[in-house]
Structure 1
Amino acid sequence: MASPNISFDSIPASIRKPGKYFEFNTKLAVRTLPGNLQKVLAIGQRLATGTQPALAPVDVFSDEQAAQLFGRGSAAHLMARAAITANPYLQLTVIAVDDAETAVAATGTVTVTGPATGAGVVSLSVGATRVDVAVASGDTAAAIAAALKVALDKKADLPLTATVEAGVLTLAARHKGSFGNGIALKSAVTAPGVSATVVAMAHGAVDPDLAPALAAVVAGGHNLIVSPLADSVSLGAIRDHLEFVSGPMEQRGAVGVFGHAGSLASGSTLAGLINSGRVTGAWHRGSVRLPAEIAAGYAAVLAFEEDPARPLNTLEIKGLDVTGIDQWPSRTEQENALYHGLTPLEVGPGDRVQIVRAISTYTRDPQGVDDVALLDITTIRTLDYVRKACRERISLRFPREKLSERTPDKVRSELLDVLYKLEELEIVEAVDANKAGLIVERDSQDVNRLDAKIPVDVVNGLHVFAGRIDLLL
């Protein structure tokens, strides 16, 4: 210490040799708010053909890189592709997991009958990929099925493999577990005398445990975590991870993302089981995309919006399929989803798949009482950013501060400045109205500690406008 108002870090007060000494103080340099780059972590199953070992996170920048790292057609590969398609500038990290040892792969069949009595085409869709086989008059069922297998084998990115015998094409998921149950199959035939009957993919069971992968990245600081699976066990593990890393001790706020292509009832039930302000699920009923692909695309769009308070309504998720009109949720179904913690997607103008309103799965407090405190996913993202801004400002300004009677006022002044700057960006509001509630005081038990109460009125999204039109004659 050299004077009541000026302190030095590098110039000691005991100098006696004459001279003019100057040090540089950078603690006051930063007067702006911190950036809010959003980093995405995707967890996905890998294949033995990939070069990246399990539980080793790696940054991914392209579809082809993901194919080489995790195996072509693997869950991790398809998730990376979906994310990069939705947001080419994404900061994406992928961590791979192996199939569970006791898992069972999903299977399905396509049974072809013949012979053809005229020329035409037999088509088979696997997810969003379609293969077509030309059929000539007289072609047998066995020949047509064999041709379908050849066509499928050329599509190395498919999440399944095919075998054929006596006109029956047997399809097996590349991964064991429930992942393969979500692979959509569909056939179409124009050749007379020929049929292709599909038995949907099913019976995949026993999923990998995500906990080891989450433990491996606990210090990674990812803002969005994409679940490859949409079940209560997997999402429960992600919820527990999010609560730990986002808590007041770790302070690395993050959000978990899942996808759902099934019914409104099953999606609402799943969201109710999770009930977390840090988990959000995109509902795209009837999609031929895997839930993991829906989740990856949705997370990539969330990451694109760095303003934590700005609503995500109408944002397009590129790469998702346009479902049949019979699958489009009605207005009533969308309202129902939004009341049950599910984020509905809809097909907008130009056949673009868009977010209706991004919400969390949190709908009830621990007492079971309806609670809208964390309804929109923007709310928890805003709180995370406010915490980050306050924490970084205090860290920059007071790295080696003494705690005297002057200190609480100095700390309060910095916090108030942060809140005003957040208000300028319309991230928080009513700072003046609430500043009397901004309290910084010494702790009653720890003489080396300051406590603060920071009132934060987050800016809400403009989701609903209501107007009355008066007819005047």
Structure 2
Amino acid sequence: MASKNISFSTIASGIRSPGQYMEFNTSLALRALPTNDQSMLIVGQRLQVGTVPALTPVQIFSSDLAGVYFGTGSLAHIAAIAALKANPYLTLTAIAVDDATAGQPASGTITFDGTSTSDGAFALFIGNTRVDIPVNSGDTAVDVATAMAAQITQTSALYVSAAAAEGVVTVKAKNKGETGNGIVLSQLNQASGITAEIVAMAGGLNDPDIEPALDKVFASQYNIIAPSWAQQDALTKTRSFLDSVSGAMEMRPAIASAGFPGTLAAGATLAGQLNSGRITLAWYPNSVSHPAEIAAGYGAVLASEPDPARPLNTLPIAGLDIVASELQAGRTEKELALHEGLTPLEVGPGDVVQIKRAVSTYLVNPQGIDDPALLDITTIRSLDYSRKAWRDRFGLRFPRSKLSTRIPPAVRSEMLDVAYELEDLEILQNIDANKDSFIFETDEQNIGQLNGKLPAPVVPGLHVFAAEIDLILG
């Protein structure tokens, strides 16, 4: 085109036929920042009765559907239940893997003894689910065991199956793998004359490999990944996945939420093994909820907050069990956990499980030096959103631009405009003080490449208030 300041996309050059030719240019239509809707992906295990094959992502609209898709009581099913309890409006997808060929299921036993001396009931807790049976005067241990096994079988959403023989109920995890060892059995004996001895779940071996599932969704966009396992292998592969999809080449931002109900020492070890700014590990010690449930519930709550910079402190996680007060972590333990890359969950007022402070597992830089740069999970989320905003604006304004001398200043103007809008939303701050650092220049080796620097002074969360109170008499 011969015009210096105007170029057309669809009107041909050199038209000789008389007429008025006008095209629409929508590249300047939008000045607002993009939305930050959150979606979540559960990675779990399925049962053979599930209708959705392994390695097939499917959107979940209800926990009942998840049971049909993956088998009731499967790891994927219980994770979906937990996620939708914590956030009923969640945009949720799940993908499942089959049990490992060499997998072994965990099992435990409940041995009943005695004869009931009055009418009553017996309650067994399997994880966070209570299973009740009536007990009549004169019922024997065999009667109670048979009734309990039958009730467990009828409660299909449980992640165990059960069988009774001679007063002993044998409980077996429906999914194979080490993760079944984390299923907690406990009792509430309400039947006089009847006692029960529990042998904890054990013997589960060889969790499945989650890498094929992650490979399957590599090209998709999910903001939060919730793996159902709290083991190093699964979470390390999740870390590699996150680094790949969220890196400079793919730029599909994502974080992972994981759950850990074990000891502070074991949780700190796991966090140190991960050392990732994109993984946040919810620590809820002595919880009877499965790690899959903690991870899914925690991730669903993270997805409920569209503001990437807003702290997540005190947000409740519905559906998790209430740990007895004498078993809850104390203030010193929770403070230490935050220094070890763990996100403590605590029981707040009204017996509500809530987030104390959401941190990442990133603790040290590649040289092993303490590095708090990505301490809060909101930091990487703010960087991800800022990158999305800048990238979207560039794509709108310069889709087919030439790299003339006029382009770098134009790009700088647009990028600064986005930065000021991010400042208005309190995602970034101090843009005026940093505007001279917005630099754009052509690459000296690769013709057609424009290089830029985009300072991102992220707004931190307000987590600590300290004050001195001066006593004044008179």
Q: TM-score range by the shorter chain?
A: over 0.9
Paired position in structure 2 for 1:30: 30
Between the aligned partners of 1:119 and 1:155, the Cα distance in structure 2 is: 23
Between the aligned partners of 1:147 and 1:372, the Cα distance in structure 2 is: 55
SS of 2:42's equivalent? strand
> Is structure 2 residue 410 aligned with structure 1 residue 442?
no
Amino acid at match of 2:445: Q
Paired position in structure 2 for 1:133: 133
> Is structure 2 residue 414 aligned with structure 1 residue 384?
no
Report 1:277-356 matches (<5 A). 277-356=277-356
Q: CA offsets per residue over residues 71-114 of structure 1, 9 Å max, x none?
A: 11111111111111111111111001000010000000000011
Paired position in structure 2 for 1:64: 64
> Is structure 2 residue 110 aligned with structure 1 residue 110?
yes
Between the aligned partners of 1:197 and 1:172, the Cα distance in structure 2 is: 16
Q: CA offsets per residue over residues 216-265 of structure 1, 9 Å max, x none?
A: 00011111100110011000000000000011000011101110111111
Q: CA offsets per residue over residues 181-206 of structure 1, 9 Å max, x none?
A: 11111112233332100011111010
> Is structure 2 residue 361 aligned with structure 1 residue 361?
yes
Q: CA offsets per residue over residues 42-64 of structure 1, 9 Å max, x none?
A: 00100111100000101101011
1:138 Cα deviation after fit? 2.7
Between the aligned partners of 1:59 and 1:143, the Cα distance in structure 2 is: 43
1:10 Cα deviation after fit? 1.2
Paired position in structure 1 for 2:89: 89
Paired position in structure 1 for 2:5: 5
Between the aligned partners of 2:51 and 2:132, the Cα distance in structure 1 is: 32
Between the aligned partners of 1:459 and 1:325, the Cα distance in structure 2 is: 35
Paired position in structure 1 for 2:225: 225
Between the aligned partners of 2:360 and 2:131, the Cα distance in structure 1 is: 38
SS of 1:248's equivalent? coil
Between the aligned partners of 2:9 and 2:135, the Cα distance in structure 1 is: 83
- Contiguous gaps of at least 5 residues in structure 2: none
Amino acid at match of 2:447: V
Whether the aligned pair in 2 keeps the contact of 1:187 and 1:197 (CA below 8 Å) is: no
SS of 2:25's equivalent? coil
Q: CA offsets per residue over residues 23-44 of structure 1, 9 Å max, x none?
A: 1100101111011111101001
More displaced 10-residue stretch of structure 1: 175-184 or 273-282: 175-184
1:118 Cα deviation after fit? 3.6
Paired position in structure 2 for 1:406: 406
The number of residues matched between the two structures is 473
1:139 Cα deviation after fit? 2.0
Between the aligned partners of 1:133 and 1:407, the Cα distance in structure 2 is: 75
More displaced 10-residue stretch of structure 1: 133-142 or 368-377: 133-142
- Contiguous gaps of at least 5 residues in structure 1: none
Between the aligned partners of 1:284 and 1:395, the Cα distance in structure 2 is: 43
Amino acid at match of 1:436: D
More displaced 10-residue stretch of structure 1: 424-433 or 129-138: 129-138
Amino acid at match of 1:446: N
Amino acid at match of 1:29: A
Paired position in structure 1 for 2:52: 52
Paired position in structure 1 for 2:429: 429
Between the aligned partners of 1:189 and 1:90, the Cα distance in structure 2 is: 38
Identity %: 55
Between the aligned partners of 2:64 and 2:432, the Cα distance in structure 1 is: 52
More displaced 10-residue stretch of structure 1: 121-130 or 248-257: 121-130
Q: TM-score, normalising length from structure 1? A: 0.99
Whether the aligned pair in 2 keeps the contact of 1:268 and 1:342 (CA below 8 Å) is: yes
Whether the aligned pair in 2 keeps the contact of 1:110 and 1:169 (CA below 8 Å) is: yes
Amino acid at match of 2:160: L
Between the aligned partners of 2:293 and 2:429, the Cα distance in structure 1 is: 37
1:382 Cα deviation after fit? 0.5
Q: CA offsets per residue over residues 417-455 of structure 1, 9 Å max, x none?
A: 000100010000000100000001000101110000111
Whether the aligned pair in 2 keeps the contact of 1:120 and 1:189 (CA below 8 Å) is: no
SS of 2:295's equivalent? helix
Between the aligned partners of 2:65 and 2:137, the Cα distance in structure 1 is: 43
1:17 Cα deviation after fit? 1.8
Amino acid at match of 1:360: S
Amino acid at match of 2:64: E
Between the aligned partners of 1:430 and 1:68, the Cα distance in structure 2 is: 52
Between the aligned partners of 1:135 and 1:455, the Cα distance in structure 2 is: 68
Q: TM-score, normalising length from structure 2? A: 0.98
Paired position in structure 1 for 2:210: 210
1:469 Cα deviation after fit? 1.0
Between the aligned partners of 2:222 and 2:133, the Cα distance in structure 1 is: 45
SS of 2:294's equivalent? helix
Between the aligned partners of 1:324 and 1:230, the Cα distance in structure 2 is: 23
Q: CA offsets per residue over residues 290-344 of structure 1, 9 Å max, x none?
A: 0000000000000110110000000001111111101211110111000000000
Between the aligned partners of 1:241 and 1:221, the Cα distance in structure 2 is: 12
SS of 1:108's equivalent? strand
Between the aligned partners of 1:460 and 1:189, the Cα distance in structure 2 is: 49
SS of 1:429's equivalent? coil
> Is structure 2 residue 269 aligned with structure 1 residue 269?
yes
> Is structure 2 residue 240 aligned with structure 1 residue 246?
no
Between the aligned partners of 1:148 and 1:371, the Cα distance in structure 2 is: 52
Between the aligned partners of 1:448 and 1:227, the Cα distance in structure 2 is: 41
Amino acid at match of 2:115: P
Paired position in structure 2 for 1:235: 235
Whether the aligned pair in 2 keeps the contact of 1:188 and 1:196 (CA below 8 Å) is: no
Paired position in structure 2 for 1:191: 191
Between the aligned partners of 1:91 and 1:196, the Cα distance in structure 2 is: 43
> Is structure 2 residue 418 aligned with structure 1 residue 418?
yes
Between the aligned partners of 1:35 and 1:28, the Cα distance in structure 2 is: 18
Between the aligned partners of 2:305 and 2:192, the Cα distance in structure 1 is: 51
Paired position in structure 2 for 1:395: 395
Amino acid at match of 1:432: D
